[in-house]
Amino acid sequence: MEQAASCPSGRCRDGALLIGIVRSDGTVGYLGGPVEVDAEWVATAQQGRDPETRFRFSEPCAQGTCRHWGGESCTLVDRVVGLGLEPTTDASLPRCGIRRTCVWFAQRGRDACLVCPQVIHTRA
């Protein structure tokens, strides 16, 4: 059975996957593998600053119901890659627990992976 596409810019909510922690330099350090968070973890994480500014989450890609979806692709990753950010790593890809299902990787390949650690989810 094929897994659903994963969004690497998810929200902190019950059932989301924790995939990284925002470091003091503002980049994401990825966990060895995704960890599913439950309602209790979410409640604890919501104490203090927004969890999305401290952690990186993944959820199933919402496609047409997401404000970043345009036609048949994610416009957010296109915008991020288009910013021309310098990769935060050498030429090797960062360790990532969702790459094989990641919609950003499927869409933009290594270019998405190299700038992904610089993306911090913020609430609009």
Confidence of residue 22 (pLDDT cuts 50, 70, 90): very high
Tell me the C-alpha distance between 35 and 37, whole Å: 6
| DSSP for residue 31 | E
For residue 17, give the nearest of 66, 45, 59, 48 by alpha carbon: 59
pLDDT for residue 13: 96
Indicate the average pLDDT of the chain: 88
Q: Which percentage of the chain shows pLDDT scores above 70?
A: 90
Please report, rounded to a whole number, the percentage of residues in the chain having pLDDT higher than 90.
Answer: 64
Domain coordinates of the chain in residue numbers?
6-118
Q: Where residue 52 falls among pLDDT bands split at 50, 70, 90?
A: very high
Supply the pLDDT for residue 90: 61
Residue spans of alpha helices (H) in the chain: 39-45, 75-82, 103-108, 110-115
Question: Does the structure show a pLDDT above 80 at 124?
Answer: no
Q: Give residue 32's pLDDT.
A: 85
Host H or E run for residue 22 = strand 17-22
Write out the H or E segment, with its range, that includes residue 19: strand 17-22
Q: What is the pLDDT of residue 88?
A: 61
Evaluate if residue 35 carries a pLDDT over 80: yes
